[in-house]
Structure formats: C-alpha cells, structure tokens
Structure 1
C-alpha cells in the first residue's frame, strides 16, 4: 500500500465518522407527556379536573322534543312542536371562603326555521351561602307534577344568602324586578292593570327543613313598587307507594311573585307504579281571580284545575312524559291543554 492510498483511505474514514456525528446531532423533539383528565370526586359524580388547574368542571344537559296540544278559552284547538337543547357548565373549587362555584346554563329553542335561538338560562357565582347573578328564585320550586300553578315570574338578577344547618335552611334574596313581565291577567271589564316595573325591587325569603320522609318550607315575596306580596307553604311526604304534595298560597294583591288568585290550594300524589313508570294526578282550586285597576282582588270568580301526568323511563338517560290538564273558571270558557315529550339527558 502506497502513501497515496493510505491518505485516501483515512480521508474516507474521517468523512464517514463526521457524517455519522452530523446525523446524530438532528434529534426529534420528544412529545410532551399528556395530562389525562382526572376524576374529581370532591363535589359529586360527573366532575373532572380542568387540565392544568385545581378547578373541577361538570358538563351536563339534555335534548328535548315536545308537542303541545289543546283548546284555549276562545274555543280554538291547535298543536305545536318545538325542540330544545340545554348545556350546563358547573365549575367548582376550594377557596379560603369555602367552595367557589361558577354556573352557566345555555338553552336553545327551535319552534321553526324562523323562530330559534340560544339564550342564557342561568349564570351565577356562588361562594359559601352567598349567590349572585341571574338564576331561578325559590318561587320556581313547585310540586313534582304539571297540574300545579304555584309560581309566576321566577328568574331574576338577584343577591341571595342561604344558611344551612343539617336538614334546616333559611334564606333571604334581594331581586331586581325591573323590566320583568307582569302577568297577563286583566281586571273586570277589560281594564288593564296599573303595572309599573321600572326601578322595582323585590325581597323574598324562605325557611324550610326535612324531617325523615317529610319536607316542608314557607316562602314569602314582597314587591316594593306594588307594595304587595304573597306567602306560600309547601309540604311533601312519602306516603305508601308514592309522594304526596300539598301547597297553599295567599296573595295580598298585584305583585310579581304571585297574584293569579287571592287564595289557592294545590295537591298531588306521585305514584311510583314500577321503577320506570310514575303516574301523578293533581288538583288545584283558585279563590277570587279578578283584580281592579288598583291591583286589589275583587269579585267572586273562582276556578279549578285538574290533570294527569305520566312519566316513563324508556332507557338510561332517555325518558318520555305525557300530560293533560283541564281548567274551568267561573263565568268563562273552560280550556284544556297537554303535551307529549321525549328527552335525552346527559
């Protein structure tokens, strides 16, 4: 082997080593370790940790298809279908002041191709017993059936505090009633009621508790602008194969919480026929329906309402409901209404 061959061989070997080192210098970036969703069991079922935080989130909701039917007071019969979708976001975490909660519910309704949209159903902040935002008032909590008519305007921008001690609770809420819609009831002879919703504030309070299979609460609401209010009591009890419910309301006159009658009593019995099938008959009576232009109850017209509701669990998270109601006021045309509903919850 001559010197020229030796030099050429050494150069080739050196080039090969250098090429290998250059190739080794190009290293693909290692993937970041994935943070899998962790279950959060601190606030109940369905919560998970938002990745990268200590906040727990729950997402649920439902899709509903419903067909309403009936005959109104003018004697006209009709039916109408609509579809509704709702998504709820419930975020919670621990803080120095207690559990911090933020809740948003978005609801979309589609009556037809020209009447559809999505709105905020609820949005509020809650920490400890304090709750502020746009949410349903206690007047929205009725009996379990569809016959009872014991709530009126039930959702406001409010500031609420609830004290809880075991099975006992008490709460006070300051509600913004401005721009809320008044009931459509009119006084005798078609005189419109004197409604002034501007700059209006309401105060509502509740006291209640649970005693074994019996639950009871007393609720009051006062409309500062109309200087009237209403008081309601509800009792539910496990009786035999079902749950019995009883409610009574007194209203002093025109107000945004309840003024559909001066007095009313409602009762129902939800019978659990099987694990999947429930039947709920209900009845309600109204004393003194009419008001004068000052918002005072007058006259002697009463009314009664009776109905029947069927609930059936078709499958897990899939339910069907059918309801029919009959309403008969004194010296006026009776009416009836009902609906068929299919709902998928998640």
Structure 2
C-alpha cells in the first residue's frame, strides 16, 4: 500500500464516520397527537369546542357600508357615508348553575379618516336566567321595519333576571342610567325644556309570550331620577303573505326609556314577496310631542311618520337594504330621511 492509497482510504473512513454522526444528529422528533377542532351542537349551529376545554365558542359578525341622507322641505339637505365592522364572541358551557355564557361584541365605525374607533357594543355574563353587564335591553325589541320610533335608549350596564316557562317569559331589570339621552323637543313659545343630569337608576319589567303565530310583549320602565316612566306593548302575527306588527306606547313625562310623545301607535306589514325580497311599509302617530321645562307633556302639537323599507338578499350572507321615511310634525318643518346599506355577514 502506498502513501496515496493510505490517504484515500483514511479520508473515506473519516467521511463515513462523519456522515454517520451527522445522520444521528438530525433525528426528527416524533409528532405529537393533534387535537382537531370538534363541532359543538349543544348550543346551536356555528359553535365549536375550544381545544383543550369543554367550552363551546361561536364567532360571527358583519361588515356594513351605509349612506344616510336627510332633507327637509325648506331645501336643506345632507348625506353621510360610514363603514362598520362587528365581531361577536359567544362562549358557552354547562355548569352546576345551568348554562354559563360569556358574550363580547366589538364594533368599529369609520365615519371618515379623522373619526374612527372600536367600542364595546355588548359584553355580559349570563347564567340561568341571570344576566349582568352591558347589553341591549327589552326596549330594543321594536318592530322589524325602520319606521317606528319606540325607545330612547336601548343599552346600559344592567342586572336582570328572566323567568322562562315554555313560550312564556317574565323579567325584571335594574339599569344604570348615567349618560342617558332624551328626546329634544321644544315646548310652546320656543322654550327648550331643561334636562337634568341623570346619574341614578331605572327599573324595567317585561312579560311576553307566543300563542301560535301571535307574539306579544309588554315592557315598562321607571326613571327614578326623573320620576317618570313609560309603558309599551308590541304584538306581531302572521297574516296572509306577511307579518303584521302593532305597537302602542305611553309616557308620563321626561324619562330615559321613551319620551318622544305622551302617546303613540305604530303599525307595519312585512311582506315576503320572494325568498330573497321583503317589503315593509310602516306608519306611526304621535300625540302631544311637546314638553315644558319641567318635563311634563303640554300643548296640542301632534306628529306622524310614514316609511318604506326594502330588504333584498343578493347572495348567501350578502344583503342590501333601502329605507325612506317621512316625518310631519304640526306647525313645524317636515323632513325626509333614509339610508342605503350593503352588508356582508359571517
């Protein structure tokens, strides 16, 4: 064996050893078992189990583009567009106290480049019939169209309990009325009524149920700070090709729940022309719309409102809505208002 053969043989042996060591160093780790997302059908469609837990979660929401417009008969007109995005998180699980629910709805609005932001639309905890947090109250349950004006404020921090027995339900709630808004009407002789700061609480109660195709609910609210309250009844029934809705409301004076007038009645008829197209005409009449500086209803001015809402399903999860409303108060300027909307839900 010469020197050349010895060197070649040594190099080959060294390469073989090095290769074996390198191969030993790149041993792939055994894959860990993967937990696939499991469908949770205990609470309805769209829920899935959060991996590693027995909590079911549903995520949904929408993206909306809308253009609002308004015009009074004096010639003044205005329009404005905005974009909204909302994401909802609904978590539920079984517990010793019944179904335990946590809900968060985040809503972002972009009015223009200088006015954009995200807010909590709702956030609450619910277990059994008890519900606490910031959420839409019973006054938010109006008619399905866009003509009716049957509530001032529809969301607060609140504590409420609802008892349900089949199609019947009854409930009681305590609301924090801080920063509540009120209807801005001028009393006779052009004197603006004084709205006192409201940092107190309100009491709500409701009773309702379904009787075949007829659904009815009564809700009442008492504003402790203003020492006034309101009552409202809403009923709907399937009639012919559509659904008839009727509402009546009364207010004793200035309060956070409803105070646009002393009395009001509203009606609508939602007709489903096709599986994708719905037409909803509506009408509302207001008796005694003025208040004095003490928040009492005074005078003889009434008002009425009529409108039409069109809903069209362009595709699955894509809808369009158009609404136009006419408002005519006694001895004051009439006005037109409405909007055009495109919404993608998920």
> Normalization by structure 1: what TM-score?
0.92
For 1:239-254, what aligned pairs fall within 5 Å after superposition?
A: 239-254=239-254
Q: Does 1:335 align with 2:338?
A: no
Q: Does 1:324 align with 2:324?
A: yes
Stretch deviating more after TM superposition (33-42 or 237-246): 33-42
Contact in 2 for aligned 1:182/1:256 (Cα 8 Å): yes
Contact in 1 for aligned 2:94/2:100 (Cα 8 Å): yes
The residue number in structure 1 matching 2:194 is 194
Contact in 1 for aligned 2:308/2:325 (Cα 8 Å): yes
Contact in 1 for aligned 2:159/2:174 (Cα 8 Å): yes
The residue number in structure 2 matching 1:71 is 71
Q: 1:21 to 1:336 in 2, by over 3 A?
A: closer
How far residue 195 of structure 1 moved from its aligned partner, in angstroms, is 2.3
Q: Report the aligned-residue RMSD.
A: 2.1
The residue number in structure 1 matching 2:95 is 95
How far residue 34 of structure 1 moved from its aligned partner, in angstroms, is 1.7
3-state SS of the aligned residue for 2:192?
coil
For 1:51-200, what aligned pairs fall within 5 Å after superposition?
A: 51-72=51-72, 75-200=75-200
Deviations 1:171-205 (A, max 9, x none): 00100002223332232333333322343100001
Q: Which runs of 5+ in 2 are unaligned?
A: 1-8
Stretch deviating more after TM superposition (179-188 or 203-212): 179-188
3-state SS of the aligned residue for 1:142?
coil
Q: What is the CA–CA distance in structure 1 between the aligned matches of 2:213 and 2:254, rounded to whole Å?
A: 35
3-state SS of the aligned residue for 1:37?
coil
Q: What is the CA–CA distance in structure 2 between the aligned matches of 1:198 and 1:226, rounded to whole Å?
A: 8
Q: 1:170 to 1:73 in 2, by over 3 A?
A: farther
How far residue 230 of structure 1 moved from its aligned partner, in angstroms, is 0.3
Q: What is the CA–CA distance in structure 2 between the aligned matches of 1:53 and 1:172, rounded to whole Å?
A: 33
3-state SS of the aligned residue for 2:35?
coil
The residue number in structure 2 matching 1:263 is 263
Contact in 2 for aligned 1:220/1:229 (Cα 8 Å): yes
The residue number in structure 1 matching 2:6 is none
Q: What is the CA–CA distance in structure 2 between the aligned matches of 1:195 and 1:70, rounded to whole Å?
A: 26
Contact in 1 for aligned 2:182/2:259 (Cα 8 Å): no
3-state SS of the aligned residue for 1:53?
coil
Deviations 1:227-253 (A, max 9, x none): 100000000000000000000001000
How far residue 23 of structure 1 moved from its aligned partner, in angstroms, is 5.2
Contact in 1 for aligned 2:152/2:181 (Cα 8 Å): no
The residue number in structure 1 matching 2:302 is 302
Q: What is the CA–CA distance in structure 2 between the aligned matches of 1:21 and 1:81, rounded to whole Å?
A: 68
Q: 1:270 to 1:198 in 2, by over 3 A?
A: closer
Contact in 2 for aligned 1:75/1:335 (Cα 8 Å): no
The residue number in structure 2 matching 1:229 is 229
The residue number in structure 2 matching 1:293 is 293
How far residue 19 of structure 1 moved from its aligned partner, in angstroms, is 8.4
Contact in 2 for aligned 1:177/1:197 (Cα 8 Å): no
How far residue 152 of structure 1 moved from its aligned partner, in angstroms, is 1.1
The residue number in structure 1 matching 2:277 is 277
3-state SS of the aligned residue for 1:293?
coil
For 1:7-22, what aligned pairs fall within 5 Å after superposition?
A: none
Q: What is the CA–CA distance in structure 2 between the aligned matches of 1:314 and 1:26, rounded to whole Å?
A: 56
The residue number in structure 2 matching 1:312 is 312
**Corresponding pairs, count:** 337
Q: Does 1:211 align with 2:211?
A: yes
Deviations 1:144-184 (A, max 9, x none): 10011111111100001000000000000100002223332
How far residue 273 of structure 1 moved from its aligned partner, in angstroms, is 0.5
Q: Which runs of 5+ in 1 are unaligned?
A: 1-8
Contact in 1 for aligned 2:69/2:339 (Cα 8 Å): yes
